[in-house]
Amino acid sequence: MGNNRLHTVAFDLDGTLSDPMRGLTSGFRYAFRKMKIDYGDEGVLKSFIGPPLRDEWMKRYSLTRERAEEAVAYFREYYSIYGWWDNDLYEGIPELLSALKAAGKRIVLATSKPDVHSRKILARFNLTPYFDFSEGASFDTSREKKSDVLSYALSRVGVSERELDGVIMVGDTKYDIDGAREVGVKSVGVLWGYGTRDDLLSHGADFLARNVDELYKILL
């Protein structure tokens, strides 16, 4: 980007900073068993990492809103106790965040994961000090879409509409790219998470990063 103009970097969490697969898929499995939903083979569970769960499960399994919300509640019941810590930090992430802070960039977290869980995960990996603000989806659904979460996080660190050209969103799925586009900021799709190159490009990612070294070159 050339990057004196870049002043704020927003990060997704799952599939971008850390790999949540074990904890999330165990929680999905728990919810489906409680609800007696035949979810298909085990491979399908990974496809639920990234999108808002209620809407995805309504669409995938033809659930009513009430049934989908009940399933999400079961998932959260498991995840809040067992799932959130069953998570692995991707190699090189602390060093990247440290370099961004040293360069004077503001760093915000914008994740579809509820805030109570995302903050615990940041703390578990000692990442909290790098972030100027962290924001997740709200339990009351007032901030559920990635664009809503991102807009709120940027407003909390004082980014005005005329400063949006100095912001970039980093994420691994089309939902991150869509959220960035809806807010009016650039985006980087990372290829080590749960999206695909084709999805990231077709949804308008401005950059792709195959690894953390490539992400360094884009952001710094």
CATH 1.10.150.240 fits 21-83, yes or no: yes
Q: Which residue has the tokens 């884009």?
A: 218
CA distances from 22 to 19, 83, 118 (A): 8, 8, 16
Residue span(s) of the chain under CATH 1.10.150.240 come to 21-83
Decide: 33 and 71 in contact? Cβ < 8 Å: no
Q: Per CATH, which fold does 8-19+88-219 belong to?
A: Rossmann fold (3.40.50)
Concerning whether 86 is annotated as a catalytic residue, the answer is no
Residue span(s) of the chain under CATH 3.40.50.1000 come to 8-19+88-219
Q: Give me the catalytic one of 12, 148, 176, 178.
A: 12
Q: According to the model, what pLDDT value does residue 112 have?
A: 84
pLDDT band (50, 70, 90) for residue 143: low
Q: According to the model, what pLDDT value does residue 51 have?
A: 81
- The pLDDT tens digits for 28-82 are 999 999 999 999 888 899 999 878 899 999 999 999 999 999 999 999 999 999 9
With a CB cutoff of 8 Å and minimum separation 6, the contacts of 118 are: 13, 109, 111, 134, 136
Angle between helices 146-156 and 174-183 (to 10 degrees): 50
Does residue 94 register a pLDDT over 70? yes
- The pLDDT tens digits for 144-173 are 689 999 999 999 999 999 999 999 999 999
